[in-house]
């Protein structure tokens, strides 16, 4: 009888410890654990001059200065060739001090091949004008259903397309060059099945934010919320965001900055 009682106590203690561990992971540790995530994209269409070039992708800051400071430190240490922001800089109308801090942090990012951004759904609803001004003052070019050629010390170029997913996305005319699409909403990829896109990067989904093994995300969000997947022959890579939306919880989805290394397969 005593042995059975001890086993029950041990079992309950282990269960309680696991539950407490998950609780503190969700509420304290994971929401602040900003990491670099590395991906490699290989394509025969990529110009030789872009072989081994790197692109940093981040999104969904939601006014989180502390996490943004960590993300910027990671990016500046790595020194990528290009920086892409996939939307949602502020979660509410920010005060002047927050704007100044975030603008200075973003301005410190490297811009060898440029810094580009699209606006997120919260940007459009909460602080559209301030977001635009902050990004532009920090050296970002905001793309709004347009295409921009990117050169890397040669006559060869790739195409960067920025889609405004807060309105009906209007995909611009493109040629046969390597095409990289920057969008906030990953689900817009389902509307682009007839486009010759080699890589699309996005935010918004937070990679599900709270994920349970075998079940997936517990929160409503975009249909496409995986870190990396292929949709209609297009590779989709998503940042899980730098900040945290409500609820301020995370599980199995650390805040991150994605570093994509481009490889020429020829």
Give the strand pairing for 199-202 and 234-238: parallel
Nearest of 237, 194, 238 to residue 59 by alpha carbon:
238
- Among residues of the chain, what percentage have pLDDT more than 90? 78
Instruction: Name beta bridge partners: 149.
Output: 159
pLDDT of amino acid 40: 98
Q: Is the dihedral of CA 92, 93, 94, 95 positive or negative?
A: negative
Residue 1 has pLDDT above 70, yes or no: no
Report pLDDT digits (tens) over 11-56: 888 899 999 999 999 999 999 999 999 999 999 999 999 999 999 9
Round to whole Å and give the CA distance between 151 and 86: 21
pLDDT of amino acid 163: 94
Round to whole Å and give the CA distance between 62 and 241: 9
- The answer to whether the CB of 188 falls within 8 A of the CB of 170 is no
Task: Report the length, in residues, of the chain.
Answer: 266
Report pLDDT digits (tens) over 168-200: 777 888 888 999 999 999 999 999 988 999 999
Instruction: Name beta bridge partners: 162.
Output: 146, 182
Distance of CA 199 to the CA centre of its chain: 14
Average pLDDT over residues 97-117: 98
pLDDT of amino acid 51: 98
Round to whole Å and give the CA distance between 170 and 122: 20
pLDDT of amino acid 170: 76
Nearest of 211, 162, 174 to residue 57 by alpha carbon:
162
Round to whole Å and give the CA distance between 105 and 30: 22
Side by side, which strands form the sheet with 141-142? Answer: 35-43, 256-264, 54-58, 82-85, 115-117, 141-142
First to last CA, the chain: 71
SS3 for 145-202, per residue? Answer: CEEEEEECCCCCEEEEEEECCCCCCCCCCCCCCCEEEEECCHHHHHHCCCCCCCEEEE
- Among residues of the chain, what percentage have pLDDT more than 70? 98
Cα Rg of the chain (Å, integer)? 20
**Residue with more model confidence, 194 or 102:** 102
Q: Is 146 exposed, middle or buried (0-12, 13-18, 19+ CB in 10 A)?
A: middle
């Amino acid at each position: 009888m005593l042995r059975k009682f001890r086993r029950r106590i041990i079992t309950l203690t282990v269960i309680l410890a696991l539950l407490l561990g998950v609780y503190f992971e969700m509420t304290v540790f994971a929401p602040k654990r900003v990491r670099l995530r590395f991906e490699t994209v290989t394509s025969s269409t990529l110009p030789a001059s872009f072989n081994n070039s790197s692109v940093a992708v981040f999104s969904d800051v939601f006014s989180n200065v502390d996490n943004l400071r960590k993300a910027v430190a990671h990016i500046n240490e790595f020194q990528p060739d290009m920086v892409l922001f996939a939307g949602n800089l502020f979660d509410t109308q920010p005060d002047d001090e927050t704007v100044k801090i975030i603008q200075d942090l973003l301005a410190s990012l490297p811009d060898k091949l440029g810094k580009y951004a699209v606006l997120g759904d919260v940007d459009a609803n909460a602080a559209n004008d301030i977001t635009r001004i902050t990004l532009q003052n920090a050296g970002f070019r905001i793309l709004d259903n347009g295409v921009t050629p990117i050169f890397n010390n040669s006559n060869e170029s790739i195409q960067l397309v920025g889609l405004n997913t807060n309105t009906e996305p209007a995909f611009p005319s493109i040629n046969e060059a390597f095409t990289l699409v920057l969008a906030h909403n990953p689900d817009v990829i389902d509307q682009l099945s007839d486009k010759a896109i080699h890589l699309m990067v996005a935010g918004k989904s937070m990679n599900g934010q709270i994920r349970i093994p075998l079940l997936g995300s517990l929160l409503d969000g975009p249909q496409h919320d995986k870190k990396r997947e292929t949709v209609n022959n297009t590779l989709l890579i998503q940042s899980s965001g730098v900040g945290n939306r409500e609820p301020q919880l995370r599980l199995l989805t650390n805040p991150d900055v994605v570093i994509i290394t481009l490889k020429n397969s020829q």
